[in-house]
Amino acid sequence: MERTRLKILVVDDTKTNIEVLEGILSHDYDVCVALNGKKAIELTEKIKPDLILLDVMMPEMDGYKTLKIMREKNILQGIPVIFLTAKADSKSEQMGLDLGAVDYITKPFNPALVTLRIKNQLQLKLQRDHLHELVDERTADLRRTLKVMLTSLGSLAEYRDPETGEHIKRTQVVVQLLAEELQKNPKYKNVITPEFIENLTTAAPLHDIGKVGIHDRILRKPGLLTHDEREIMMQHSQMGYDVLREATLQLHDNAMVRMAAEMALGHHEYWNGKGYPNHKMKDDIPIGARIMAVADVYDALVSKRPYKEPFPHNVAVKEIVSGRGTQFDPDIVDAFLTIADRLPGIYEQFKDKSSEDNKA
């Protein structure tokens, strides 16, 4: 397969210079032209050239200002810039190099020198691009591996507590929907990013991982817990956090595992400070834990438990609304109300295995 020709953007206000450079380069490269800095910025954003030849001395916007704006707009993305200049003094070169130019080509042009310098810079760029691709690929592989391991680890709690059935999968879906809705709130636009949502969704299955440390006598008790048993059960938040926090230290504070630790610790905290284990309140509770709190309670309400029958969807929604501003973050309750009508249909896909077994 024929290799795609590399693109070079030539920026010069003198047509004679452009014609000379086109004559030198057009045999090996696709040459695009801009007669001023403004057009150069527009073309760089549009065509993403592989290299830019940028004249220094241009009216209205010189090469230095053009390059500075390109940097500020973050449109270069590794594109090498070579300055074209008739000024060969060291001060001018220093100014250009400080702005991020990789080289200078002086006028009048020496065709052999122009060709060699451009070739060298493009080879360096291709090598850097290939290295970035390898790093991105390796990073993606590690991220996929971590996601699988976290999901598998979260399943341990489900195996220990079979009455919760598909609780982990259902809450994972709900937290994702809540985060996507909350992202529309201007208050969270810089917090809830696509990466945040991915981390949150992956970390969600670990919110109850601390239950692995709770004795079966309490965890599997077919009925309401006593006060002392409840005190022991409440320790699962801290247990989960301790295990996951240790993991974050080993993983150099990995954002996904750190979020899982925060969710494990804080998903039973209340907006008004009356939850557990640390009586955190309002924004002191990490946003991931506040989202999980709503998803976790809704799922518990509409699910069958040894000590209760499932609540109808509309009753569960009223319970969530009644906790707005006391148990739950008001913004998250508002987000919940926008997705609430979708939940019964989604839940049909994640019925408890125990319920299905009872029907068989």
Q: Which two tokens stand for residue 95?
A: 């100014």
Task: Check if the beta carbon of residue 310 is closer than 8 Å to that of residue 355.
Answer: no
pLDDT in tens, 25-53: 999 999 999 999 999 999 999 999 999 99
Task: Check if the beta carbon of residue 14 is closer than 8 Å to that of residue 66.
Answer: no
Global pTM value:
0.62
Tell me which fold the domain 161-351 belongs to: Hypothetical protein af1432 (1.10.3210)
7-132 homologous superfamily: Response regulator (3.40.50.2300)
Averaged over 98-120, what is the pLDDT?
86
> Any idea what DSSP says for residue 328?
B
pLDDT of residue 354: 41
More confident: 73 or 129: 73
Percent pLDDT > 90 in the chain is: 47
Q: Amino acid identity, residue 325? A: G
Domain ranges of the chain: 7-132, 161-351
Task: Check if the beta carbon of residue 82 is closer than 8 Å to that of residue 52.
Answer: yes
pLDDT in tens, 305-321: 777 888 999 999 999 99
